Amino acid sequence: MRNILEIKDLSISFKLEDGLFRAVHGVNLSLEEGKVLGIVGESGCGKSVTAMSVLKLLASNAVIDSGEVLYRGKNLLNLSEKEFQRLRGSRIAFIPQDPLNSLNPLYTVGDQILETIRFHRKVSKKEAGRLAVNALKDVKIPEAENRLKEYPHQFSGGMSQRVLIAMALSCNPDIIIADEPTTALDVTVQAQVLDLIREIQRKRNTSVIFITHDLGVVAEFCDYVAVMYAGRIVEYSDVRTIFKNPLHPYTKGLLESLPSEGKGELKVIKGQPPSITEQIPGCVFHPRCPDKMETCDKQLPQLSNIKDSHLASCFLY
């Protein structure tokens, strides 16, 4: 299988008042063409920062300490903003977490989709209009022609997210990065939007990086999954394997906290993940780990291949 995107040894820090603090530690990830890679972990573990580095949308106080982001073999981190603008939106598209704040309230939905289309594709206004109508039809927004003339406030959360998905798809991207695309939506709408993204992904064979804090969503949606904790990948495998045979105590904890039929009381992982300013000796998960051993607060376990491309960073293995 061909990798369309490879993240290699990526480390990112943030400048804060009292120094430079690392949020992403030596992350390696590959996205195979036509596959969905999930990145899962609790809030603050570095999922968005990792994704934003691929989109070159990091905050101004971010520093890339090391690493490469290779798109079809080309290092995106070396491209100028101007060079990157052509890729962002056309080849690599983004579906954000918060649809309501991602659309400009002052312009009609149609104008915003048209602008995206015309920025990336040399088409007449009329042709762009036709593409915009099709884009809304693709995401199953009824009465597409009329709705293009409306403003974002006239759209519900779910419908706004469909508009953003339509915008992301309007230039036929190779890669979609979806950062918790349903977290801000009502539960019933979440399922519809997920179904939509999945249907489109399959139909177009798009490669997707799907970020979520919910392993339940990963099960339905992803081919591969990387579990992140405190800025590091602690486990990686194909989805079936991780549900059948989770290795890292953190992954096990996430699975035990998933609601499911017939399960009694849900377990939660005790404690909180550390902030980027906290220094933890040894394994960063040891303060919360039910399987903590002698070495765990002294040495940092490396992410290594345990069996058949199933990676984990834990001294148990």
Ligand X SMILES: Nc1ncnc2c1ncn2[C@@H]1O[C@H](COP(=O)(O)OP(=O)(O)O)[C@@H](O)[C@H]1O
In the complex, least distance from residue 213 CB atom to Mg ion, rounded to whole angstroms? 8
- Side-chain half-sphere CA neighbours of 58 within 13 A: 21
Nearest-CB residue to Mg ion?
A: 48
According to the binding rule CB under 6 A, does residue 96 interact with ligand X? no
Query: How is residue 181 written in tokens?
Result: 């695309």
Would you count residue 13 as binding ligand X (CB under 6 A)? no
Closest contact distance (angstroms) between CB of 237 and ligand X is 20
- Contact status: 128 vs ligand X (CB under 6 A): no
Does the protein bind ligand X through residue 47 (CB under 6 A)?
A: yes
Show the tokens assigned to 33. 């063409």
Exposure b/e, 76-113, CB count within 10 A at least 16 = b: beebeeeebeebbbbbbbbbbbbbbebbeeeebbbebb
φ, ψ (nearest 5 deg) of residue 92: -125, 110
- The region of 36-44, 87-95, 128-136, 245-253 touching ligand X under the rule CB under 6 A is 36-44
The rounded distance, in Å, linking the Cα atoms of 211 and 225 is 10
Contact between 277 and ligand X by CB under 6 A: the answer reads no
Q: How far separated are the first and last CA of the chain, in Å rounded?
A: 28
Which CB sits closer to ligand X, 20 or 266?
20
Does 236 sit near ligand X (CB under 6 A)? no
Going by the DSSP 8-state scheme, the letter that residue 269 receives in this structure is: -
Residue 114 touches which member of ligand X, Mg ion, none, C-beta under 5-8 Å by kind? none
Exposure class string for 115-145: b at 16+ Cβ within 10 A, else e: ebbbebeeeeeeebbebbbebbebbebeebe
Binding pattern to Mg ion, positions 40-69, x when CB under 5 A?
Answer: --------x---------------------
Element (H, E) at 66: strand 62-71
Stretch that binds ligand X, among 40-48, 143-151, 289-297, 301-309 (CB under 6 A): 40-48
Which listed residue (4, 5, 7, 23) binds ligand X by CB under 6 A?
23
Interaction of residue 196 with ligand X, rule CB under 6 A: no
Residue 181 makes contact with ligand X by CB under 6 A: no
Rounded to 5°, the CA angle 167-49-1 comes to 70
- Positions that interact with Mg ion (CB under 5 A): 48
- Positions that interact with ligand X (CB under 6 A): 14, 16, 23, 41, 43-49, 59, 61, 275-276
